[in-house]
Amino acid sequence: MPFWGKKKPKVTSVEKAELSRKLLALNKPSNPFEIKRSDETDLVVKQRIVEAEWRERGMTKKELKKGYKAWLLLDEKTNEARYSEEMATEQKTKRGPFGLGGISHQKTTFRGRMFSAKEKGGRYRGGQKIYEYDFDVKKVREPIKRAVEESGWQFKQVMRKASATY
């Protein structure tokens, strides 16, 4: 036995259709994400992190949207599940008639291979909650990775979306 621990037992790999069924079975109310079939890849994973709208002083309307998305391509030839991730944030500010008008819009997107992403945030005004969120990419990725590896496939995070789509 090697000094760094036990070797993992070799698992016989299941067919692609069986792995797809196992991954789709992860759709449960207790999981914060949703897995669906897709035309551009085998499966797409989505989680709405926060979607909020509120008004500030002077008729200013603000919006915040954050979301996580991943593409999962199941390659039968290599028994690899290739996984590419994206995190997107969109913020809008629309000033009303008392704020002299105007619109501000900002969108930020990270796509590729996330090693770790953990965020917690919220906004309160006058003791009332406007929005609150808590996101940890491991809570999405780990159940998927576990299902893939328990099925005898290799889970491979890839940098480019093109590596995880048709």
pLDDT tens string for the chain (166 positions)? 455 666 566 678 999 999 999 999 999 999 999 999 999 999 999 999 999 999 887 678 999 999 999 999 999 999 999 999 999 999 999 887 655 678 899 999 999 888 888 999 999 988 899 999 999 999 999 999 999 999 999 999 999 999 999 9
Structural domain harbouring 136: 16-164
CA atoms of 108 and 46, how far apart (whole Å): 17
Residue 73 near residue 164 (C-beta atoms within 8 A): yes
pLDDT at residue number 60: 85
Q: Which residues contact 105 (CB under 8 A, 6 or more apart)?
A: 90, 91, 92, 93
Q: Is residue 11 part of a domain?
A: no
Summarize the chain as % helix, strand, coil (round to 5): 20, 45, 35
**Inside any domain, residue 10:** no
Helix, strand or coil, per DSSP, at residue 8: coil
DSSP symbol at 25: T
Q: Is residue 7 part of a domain?
A: no
Which value, to the nearest 10 degrees, does the dihedral of the CA atoms of residues 113, 118, 124, 128 take? 110
Angle between the N-to-C axes of helices 137-150 and 16-24, in degrees from 0 to 180, rounded to the nearest 10: 150
Contact present, 125 and 110 (Cβ < 8 Å): no
The total of structural domains in the chain comes to 1
Residue 1 resides in a domain: no
Indicate the residue type of 20: S
Q: Does 141 fall in a domain?
A: yes
List the beta bridge partners of residue 119: 135
Report the chain's C-alpha Rg in angstroms. Answer: 20
Which of 25, 73, 56 minimizes the C-alpha distance to 123? Answer: 56
Q: Is residue 3 part of a domain?
A: no
* Beta carbons of 114 and 88 less than 8 angstroms apart: no
